[in-house]
Structure formats: structure tokens, C-alpha cells
């Protein structure tokens, strides 16, 4: 943990768990900032993997669901790493730079992915894999004023650009990588900051009005917005189509690990369940069975308490129905709803 950054965050009201700022004691203010202003969340505990050398794009193209061969420096994408049977390992964001690709990966999946890549690297491959997580801090700005915060510090308003596009910019005298996307469905951006300048950049952001937001609130928003996470929605039990990650999958590209299974599921409409939100009338436990009447139709994979009530993520059998479905989750009644992170995807029910 960067001690200087931790000291500043402590002065902002942070409490820590495993060196992660989990709360700033300001949930109502931070939620409002994501809707009306800008919140800043420290995601430095996420993994950052650098893939370099001449075969880097080909390697990632063959290893994951999206099309890397068409990407140019300054561009990026969301992609999913899957097993040969198309079970999900992680949802990652890739940024293609001039001589490498940076992968922003989930906190619990960094080491596993590095070992996974090593398993598929052959002596002739010109690919180098390096964990650079400790060299950078990751700050996500969430909310409609995110770009204005960057403009105040850089003197340049970032142009409208596709998700995961990125460029080097200077915030006052500190060079950072500005990337499009907050990691959630809410608009925003993510900064990749050299670790020795992390405290300075955090202070700049909060002094220009960004409201600090802890990891617990990030997790609450993740669930409300429907971003699937490893160990919850992304496990050996589910594939990326069931998880609603259609926009991360290229159906036109050639062979990759898990491709045959995914292509078959798509071609034969074999997606038997889908990820949705559920509004609940009370507390529920992870893993609770979801029922319609006496019929088991799904499972609760994530749960959170919000200012508006209780909310969860559920996998529901497609034949059971979708949005508007009244369900029983354990002993609690609920209603299935769409979630923003997945709402631009289309399904056959």
C-alpha cells in the first residue's frame, strides 16, 4: 500500500480493510455525486497485467473472446477469458498502447490469469507477460462531471471517444493514462497513475470536487448496475452469454479458447439462463434458490442493501420469463428487473 496515499485518504475519512479504502463514511454524498457530479474510487487493488513483444495481439486474440487483431494503439475493449468449455475466468478491460497491451483485471484473478497465460505460452511465442500492478494506482471517476474534473486539471476537455479508448495526458505536471469508462454502467473515466504520483493525483482530484468513494459502495453500485464479478456471477457454473457479456464477444473472429462452445450456444440458441437484477422485499442470502411457485428457476449470486431497499443479481432460466417476473428468493418476495450494465444486450426469451 502506498503510505502517502493512505495518509491522504485517511484524512478524507477513509477506513481500510486489507489496505483497501472500503468506506469514507459519506455514502449518501458519494451516491449523489455519481448521479449529479463526480465520485472518485481507488481501484488500485485491481490487477494490471502488461502483455508485450511482437505476438502480443495475436496471443490475446487467441486467448479471449474479443477481436484484438483490429485494435490500434489508443483503442481498447472489454474481453472475457474463458476455459476450453467456455466457463468464465474474468471480465477484463484491455488498452492497446504502442508496444504493449495493458489488461485491467479483477483483484482476485490477477495471479490466476498470469499462470493461465503461462500455460498457453510456447517457446516460439514472442510474448512477455508481466504483473505491473504494484507500479500503478488505478482511480475511477464516476459521474457526469468526470470529464470536467479532468479538464480543470489538464486544460483539455477529453474528446468523446469509444469505450476503452485512452491517451496520455498531463494533470498539471503529472502524466497519467486517461481511459474512457468508469468500470460501471455510469459514465466516467479511469486513470492509470504511476504509483509515485498517486497521492498527488488523488489530492488534485478531491480538491477539484471529486467525492471520495469506498470499495463497499463500488460493490453496491456493481450489483445495482449488473456488472458480473468473479466468484459471484463469473464462475465455472456460467458462460459469458449467460452472464450477458455479448458485447465482449466477437462472433466473426477465428478460433480462440472456448470459441466452439460459445459459437454453438449462439447458433443453436442454447443459452438456458440469463443474468438479471431483482428487487427484494427483505434480506436474502447468497446462493438462495429463486422460485416461481414451487418451481426452481434460478439462484441469487449477489446481494446488497441500498437507500431504496434490497437488491440482488440472479441467474434466471430463460423459459421462466424475464423482466417483471415475480419470484421468491429464499423466504423473500422479489421482482426481476433489467440492469444498466447488461440492458444494451439483447436476448431471446
Query: Whole-angstrom Cα distance, residue 197 to residue 209?
Result: 19
82 forms bridges with which residues in the sheet? 88
Average pLDDT of span 20-26 = 98
Per the prediction, the chain carries an average pLDDT of 94
What are the Cα distances from residue 307, in Å, to 24, 105, 129, 339? 17, 29, 43, 17
With b meaning 16 or more CB within 10 Å and e meaning fewer, what string describes 123-132? Answer: eeeebebeee
- Determine the pLDDT at residue 346: 32
Tell which wins on pLDDT, 254 or 142. Answer: 142
Whether the predicted pLDDT of 344 surpasses 80: no
> pLDDT class for 270, splitting at 50, 70, 90?
confident
Distances (CA, A) of 275 to 10, 88, 226, 254, 346: 37, 14, 8, 27, 12
Classify the C-alpha dihedral 239-240-243-244 as positive or negative.
negative
* Predicted local confidence at residue 349, as pLDDT: 28
pLDDT at 253: 87
Q: State the SS3 of 179-227.
A: EECCCCCCCEEEEEEEHHHHHHHHHHHHHCCCEEECHHHHHHHHHHHCC
Which three three-digit cell numbers place residue 208? 477539484
pLDDT tens profile 5-19: 999 999 999 999 999
pLDDT at position 99 is 97
- Convert the pLDDT of each residue in 50-73 to its tens digit: 999 999 999 999 999 999 999 999
Averaged over 340-348, what is the pLDDT? Answer: 57
Half-sphere exposure of 185 (CA within 13 A, CB side): 18
Looking at the predicted structure, is the pLDDT value of residue 348 above 80?
Answer: no
- Condensed to tens digits (0 to 9), the pLDDT of residues 288-301 reads 999 999 999 999 99
Q: Is pLDDT at 347 greater than 50 in this prediction?
A: no
Report the predicted TM-score, pTM, of the whole model to 2 decimal places.
0.95
Question: 276 Cβ partners below 8 Å, 6+ apart?
Answer: 226, 313, 314, 315, 316, 322, 323, 336, 337, 338, 339, 342
Measured over the CA atoms of residue 54, residue 57, residue 62 and residue 64, the dihedral's sign is positive
148, three cell numbers? 470536467
Q: What is the CA radius of gyration of the chain?
A: 20
Amino acid at each position: 500500500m502506498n503510505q502517502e496515499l493512505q495518509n491522504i485518504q485517511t484524512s478524507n475519512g477513509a477506513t481500510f480493510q486489507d489496505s483497501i479504502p472500503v468506506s469514507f463514511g459519506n455514502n449518501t454524498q458519494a451516491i449523489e455525486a455519481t448521479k449529479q457530479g463526480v465520485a472518485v474510487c481507488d481501484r488500485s487493488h485491481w490487477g494490471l497485467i502488461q502483455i508485450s513483444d511482437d505476438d502480443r495481439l495475436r496471443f490475446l486474440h487467441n486467448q479471449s473472446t474479443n477481436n484484438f487483431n483490429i485494435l490500434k494503439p489508443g483503442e481498447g475493449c472489454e474481453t472475457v477469458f474463458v476455459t476450453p468449455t467456455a466457463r468464465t475466468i474474468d471480465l477484463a478491460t484491455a488498452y492497446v498502447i504502442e508496444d504493449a497491451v495493458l489488461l485491467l483485471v479483477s483483484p482476485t484473478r490477477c495471479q490466476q490469469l498470469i499462470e493461465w497465460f503461462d500455460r498457453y505460452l510456447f517457446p516460439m511465442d514472442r510474448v512477455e507477460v508481466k504483473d505491473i500492478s504494484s507500479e500503478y494506482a488505478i482511480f475511477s471517476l464516476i459521474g457526469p462531471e468526470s470529464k470536467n474534473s479532468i479538464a480543470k486539471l489538464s486544460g483539455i476537455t477529453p474528446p468523446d471517444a469509444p469505450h476503452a479508448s485512452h491517451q496520455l495526458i498531463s494533470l498539471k505536471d503529472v502524466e497519467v493514462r486517461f481511459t474512457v469508462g468508469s468500470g460501471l454502467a455510469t459514465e466516467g473515466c479511469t486513470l492509470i497513475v504511476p504509483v509515485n504520483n498517486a497521492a498527488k493525483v488523488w489530492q488534485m482530484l478531491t480538491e477539484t470536487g471529486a467525492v471520495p468513494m469506498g470499495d463497499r459502495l463500488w460493490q453496491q453500485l456493481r450489483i445495482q448496475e449488473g456488472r458480473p464479478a468473479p466468484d459471484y456471477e463469473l464462475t465455472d457454473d456460467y458462460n459469458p452469454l449467460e452472464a450477458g457479456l455479448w458485447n465482449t464477444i466477437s462472433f466473426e473472429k477465428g478460433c480462440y479458447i472456448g470459441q466452439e462452445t460459445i459459437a454453438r450456444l449462439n447458433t443453436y440458441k442454447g443459452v438456458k439462463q440469463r443474468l438479471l437484477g431483482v428487487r427484494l422485499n427483505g434480506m436474502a442470502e447468497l446462493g438462495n434458490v429463486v422460485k416461481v411457485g414451487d418451481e426452481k428457476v434460478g439462484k441469487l449470486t449477489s446481494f446488497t442493501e441500498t437507500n431504496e431497499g434490497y437488491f440482488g443479481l440472479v441467474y434466471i432460466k430463460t423459459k421462466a420469463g424475464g423482466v417483471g417476473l415475480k419470484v421468491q428468493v429464499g423466504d423473500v418476495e422479489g421482482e426481476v428487473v433489467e440492469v444498466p450494465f447488461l440492458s444494451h444486450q439483447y436476448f431471446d426469451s
